[in-house]
A = this chain, B = another copy of it.
């Protein structure tokens, strides 16, 4: 099927997805250009759709420059890099890729949690450095049966909760509104932080949630508490977190996201009570294909039927 429409691809998608776009549409790949901005200006009059990944900004200015734009199809659940208000004003649909990554991000949350409780990465290095020949690796902390708090009880939050329940943990959560779930609701984040052993952040990014986890919340989480972040770096006051980790205000952290990715502060990397991963939340072949396919399907549906599968505005 060839559709005579023009799609601006702003990021490097998985190969199979780029091929799908190439086979179906006329494609314009700004990410391949030395000067993407100049390139976009040169083709902007003809563009019908944008396909873009989380890290690439789609600003108000850019949206205004593309007169026939109908859809910004965002790869990922978080769409904080897209100016949705401007898109709405310009009558442009924004879509994201919910659900297809719930399992993957939840798996990453569990992996980081178990890794930080059990010091898996340090244990691995201990063995590789042949220290086991001389001594036993220090005992770590038991995870099963602890109290697990989730900040943000959306689709991914529920998927995490399902997994964590199997570890005999008590699940609690905080979100703006109480949800129809069996888990204990805390209307105040600081009360949740005080109650739980682990606080797992899976709330959307953006201005509304910026630094929701600040030094006060970390203080409440306390010296036996662990922080897991698989949402957005912006939700946590990163400087406050580093200080809390340095001074044993909290016990440890598992972080997949950071305030200014891909930059990670040296003094965070130096700590031994953390496990840090480079935003791999949804980064498997299978899940990235499913996400890309949903981006593609949203573009196809919009440009052929003027509707979408997973709109956010």
- Residues of chain A at the chain B interface (Cβ within 8 Å): 14, 103-104, 106-108, 110-112, 114-115, 117-121, 123-124, 126-128, 132-133, 136-137, 139-145, 162-163, 165-168, 261-264, 269, 275-278, 280, 283-288
Contacts and interface: CB of A to CB of B under 8 A. Distances in A.
Contacts of A120: 111-112, 115, 120-121, 275, 277
Nearest to A14: B139
Contacts of A284: 117-118, 139-142
A107 to B, nearest CB: 6
A140 B283 contact: yes
Contacts of A285: 139-142
Contact of A104 (B14, B124, B142): B142
Contacts of A144: 103-104, 106-107
A289 to B, nearest CB: 9
A128 B269 contact: yes
A106 B166 CA distance: 11
Contacts of A145: 103
A286 B145 CA distance: 11
Given A127-B269, A141-B284, A165-B166, A136 B103 contact: no
Given A276-B127, A278-B126, A139 B264 contact: no
B280 A137 contact: yes
A142 B278 contact: no
A31 to B, nearest CB: 13
A194 B140 CA distance: 35
6 contacts: A104-B142, A104-B144, A111-B114, A120-B275, A132-B278, A137-B278
B140 A280 contact: yes
A251 to B, nearest CB: 12
